[in-house]
Amino acid sequence: MAKKQAGAKKPERYELGRVRDRITFLYLEHAKLNRKDSAIQVLDDRGIVYVPAAMLSVLMLGPGVDVTHRAMELIGESGLGVVWVGEQGVRQYAYGRPLNHSSAILMAQAKLVSNQRSRVKVARQMYQMRFPDDDVSQLTMQQLRGKEGARVRQVYLDQSEKTGVAWSRREYNPDDFDSGSPINKALTAAHQALYGLSYSVISALGASAGLGFVHTGHDLSFVYDFADLYKAEFSIPVALSVAAKYGEDSDIGSRTRLAMRDVFVESKLLVRMVRDLKALLGMTDVDDREVDLVSLWDDRLGLQKFGVQYHELQEDGSR
């Protein structure tokens, strides 16, 4: 019987790049993905390349991609986000295990979202980031939604005038990407690329994608919250710019994704996203590669050591 190969050992925490230092995303299609040591092996009709998994933030898998179990094992170990990209648009389906194995950020998020007063405070903070010159601390959620709606409409009008692309309103069918107009196709691709990057940062830092402050009831509520902070600056201008340049090009979705990837890199958006997310949750002092620590919760004694044979202790804690 042939000796089973052990393969590469699981990477240590210090070997994995911080999420803010990673490449934003890589798009692949019509390829087979396997694992070679600590790299993703990509095989297509042009040959083989090796991609260091620890230095990627999001892997976008397009039509015709086959992924082996070994490749997914590496992806999970590396905290690498995975977005399956269909011919009809982009959809977020999966992500790897968080880089930060501490639950500190998740617990902070759950605490904030579970209290109405703190939830409103975080929501206002999100809106304040979009209106740095205005005081929104006394506005209701309804007033904030109205103010944001007016701002986004103006962004579309300004970009329409700047690029020469006619704009009326957002129209798209999530189940039929090709039925949309060029600008709506570009917007869908741009927004979904932003969602993918947002999801990857949220997951890598150990927060919950489902615990939103403005959006609620969906497993990606916080992704929509977080991505909305950057649409006016990134996805909307990029989409209209691509639509102006390529018009009726049938590959406008792919061109938009490439343009988004370029602007992500140039703007160092990952660094900013990590900083913004921690600030929103009041966790600026938490390292995104904090060492593993497991404790036991006690309602009276506080956190207790994990791995102790507690069945040998008396009720008062003595042996």
- CA–CA separation, 106 vs 114, rounded Å? 12
Q: In the prediction, which pLDDT does 99 show? A: 65
In CATH terms, 104-280 corresponds, of 1.10.275.10, 3.90.850.10, 1.20.120.920, 1.10.287.990, to 1.20.120.920
pLDDT of 23 higher than 90: no
pLDDT of 301 higher than 80: no
Least-confidence region, from 76-80, 201-205, 268-272, 299-303? 299-303
Q: In the prediction, which pLDDT does 14 show? A: 39
pTM: 0.74
CA angle 283, 285, 287 (to 5 degrees): 95
pLDDT digits 0-9 by tens, 217-260? 998 899 999 999 999 999 999 999 999 999 877 789 889 988 99
Locate CATH 1.20.120.920 in the chain. 104-280
Q: Stretch 268-284: mean pLDDT, rounded?
A: 91
Asked whether 196 and 83 are in contact (CB, 8 A), the reply is yes
Q: In the prediction, which pLDDT does 290 show? A: 47
CA angle 276, 279, 285 (to 5 degrees): 115
Better-scored residue on pLDDT, 17 or 188: 188
Locate CATH 3.100.10.20 in the chain. 13-94
Fold of 13-94: Ribosomal Protein L15; Chain: K; domain 2 (3.100.10)
Average pLDDT, the chain: 82
